[in-house]
Structure 1
């Protein structure tokens, strides 16, 4: 029997692989800028392989790639007729991959997210957002997901609407918030206050994802953990954000020697600004020690980064057999059969 999300959380930390958006753009199957996951229809095998790579790296969850696959985004690119087929296909592919797990079938999560349409002063916009969530969660229910992940909300009220629509379908909800540079949500809520309310209103897991790297997300995760009795999620982006630049939207690259086609390094010039896997491991250890329950990495994360996080919190992954081991390296190894003249040369290499 496949354990539910709640059962797994009771047994220990749960890993959720995210970051498909940047990863599939990097692999050549998604357009930066519009960031619409048409890959589910255009290149389903590429999407399945991405799902598989994150699952093998330690993810307990195959998250259906429907981030930005909502009616407003599809309207902007002129492809509303693909809305329902795209959503259903992304979930079905996730279910296929989840069944491949050799030890225990992975959970399948539906995915809804910030619409970029929400306006707290506009009742019509609120109702449009509710309808967007209602139809997407309805497809999740019909396709048989295990829970719904509502993510990257920078308005508390939009997150609350998402939670209400998930609850109507009687599905467990993971709700995570994206905190921009003001250090509060756009409708004035502190992130810890919003998470406390969302948990009180029925979310199984609450926390933060995206926008912020480990350094600038962790202080707020600590506040959420201190004020929230239930399960807490943390899924930062793997970039070196700082107090001066708390999100990856305006992260500078002072060493860049070329003209960038965009005003900032986001989204296509962030490469030199990555955290290395050991920085991510250090963060995961800190988060685990304060009681975070639901771990992952968001936009920019690779499977090897996720594996490092999973192993740090005590998990052995399908692909842990490929984790770094320098013992046999010709310059830096310790194996006694290595050529001594090569090993001696490493100080000059």
Structure 2
């Protein structure tokens, strides 16, 4: 949404659900047609704290409800099987393990958002990007109070440990044992620096495991996309980091993403996707790597008829001869 021009980097509040519902429906549709079994309601950061920061708490409930309603409309468009619709809650950025008042506020914020999810008829709730284990537990508890299935995924920062001291695989084991339908990781890390942890989670968890990396070339030295350097950048960046608005040169290509998806599936990861920065074409590559033909697989690359690199018998030979010089 930010790349399309309908979201402000920094605050990252999805006001688009109210201001440009047609755009949001189009993006929902693009990802569903690219192979997503789930239309995820765009309410990440649409919680009371973020709405307070931008001075629009009065829009909190309308934004949440409309994002879900739009997702349900698109899910019904699937030509063969109606897509699932997931409500969404996320890290609040106010959780403090030493402050009970902050925990109570977090619980209240989750409770109101999940109640709207329940009333709007979602299939499950996706709680994501938690970097505190205890905050994830609160999210799970509030989802369970509404009788909804829970997908809970953790965001692991560069310390390689959750902020309240839990190893991510131990956190996921506990969350699974507490009743989360799916547990795992999302965001912050690209495939190369997330996959080793997914393998550890798979070893510790009996239930379903999720992996949704960002599509960027994170490394052992720079395990998250927050501090990825771009050695080829020749201009002055307004921030000290390439995150969040100068990450484009640091993308994995779709074939690398597809190779990760195969690896994740072979590892036993059950709930496979992508996080911040992903495109529908990338998600289609993930789906096809998992042997799923998508609605838009008809548009998957086929270079046979390309004027320089094709193999079709009717192509002009003088163009084909030029391919090595082009």
Q: Normalising to structure 1: TM-score of the pair?
A: 0.93
Are 1:275 and 2:226 an aligned pair?
no
Are 1:97 and 2:81 an aligned pair?
no
Following TM superposition, by how much is the alpha carbon of 1:272 offset from its aligned partner in structure 2, in angstroms? 0.2
RMSD: 0.3
C-alpha separation in 1, matches of 2:108 and 2:118: 15
Following TM superposition, by how much is the alpha carbon of 1:84 offset from its aligned partner in structure 2, in angstroms? 0.2
Aligned counterpart for 1:76 among listed residues 53, 74, 88: 53
Give the alignment of 1:142-153 within 5 angstroms.
142-153=119-130
Aligned counterpart for 1:199 among listed residues 176, 188, 207: 176
Give the alignment of 1:181-200 within 5 angstroms.
181-200=158-177
Q: Which has the higher contact order (CA 8 A, sep 6+)?
A: 1
Once the two structures are superposed, residues 10-69 of structure 1 have per-residue CA deviations (whole angstroms, 9 ceiling, x without a partner) of xxxxxxxxxxxxxx1111111111100000000000000000000000000000000000
Are 1:65 and 2:42 an aligned pair?
yes
C-alpha separation in 2, matches of 1:286 and 1:48: 31
Following TM superposition, by how much is the alpha carbon of 1:263 offset from its aligned partner in structure 2, in angstroms? 1.2
Report the equivalent of 1:324.
301
Report the equivalent of 2:111.
134
Once the two structures are superposed, residues 169-189 of structure 1 have per-residue CA deviations (whole angstroms, 9 ceiling, x without a partner) of 000000000000000100000
Report the equivalent of 1:301.
278
Following TM superposition, by how much is the alpha carbon of 1:80 offset from its aligned partner in structure 2, in angstroms? 0.2
Unpaired stretches in structure 2, ≥5 consecutive residues: none
Give the alignment of 1:111-126 within 5 angstroms.
111-126=88-103
Q: Secondary structure at the match of 1:25?
A: coil
Are 1:336 and 2:307 an aligned pair?
no
Structure 1 stretches of 4+ moved >4 Å: none
Report the equivalent of 1:33.
10
Are 1:285 and 2:262 an aligned pair?
yes
| Number of equivalenced pairs | 326
Report the equivalent of 1:168.
145
Q: Normalising to structure 2: TM-score of the pair?
A: 1.00
Are 1:254 and 2:254 an aligned pair?
no
Q: Secondary structure at the match of 1:321?
A: helix
Q: Secondary structure at the match of 2:39?
A: strand
C-alpha separation in 2, matches of 1:262 and 1:36: 20
Aligned counterpart for 1:44 among listed residues 21, 28, 51: 21
C-alpha separation in 2, matches of 1:282 and 1:63: 24
Aligned counterpart for 1:312 among listed residues 284, 289, 294: 289
C-alpha separation in 1, matches of 2:22 and 2:257: 29
Q: Secondary structure at the match of 1:345?
A: coil
Following TM superposition, by how much is the alpha carbon of 1:119 offset from its aligned partner in structure 2, in angstroms? 0.3
Q: Secondary structure at the match of 1:268?
A: coil
Unpaired stretches in structure 1, ≥5 consecutive residues: 1-23
Aligned counterpart for 2:189 among listed residues 190, 212, 215: 212
C-alpha separation in 2, matches of 1:98 and 1:147: 14
C-alpha separation in 2, matches of 1:333 and 1:46: 35
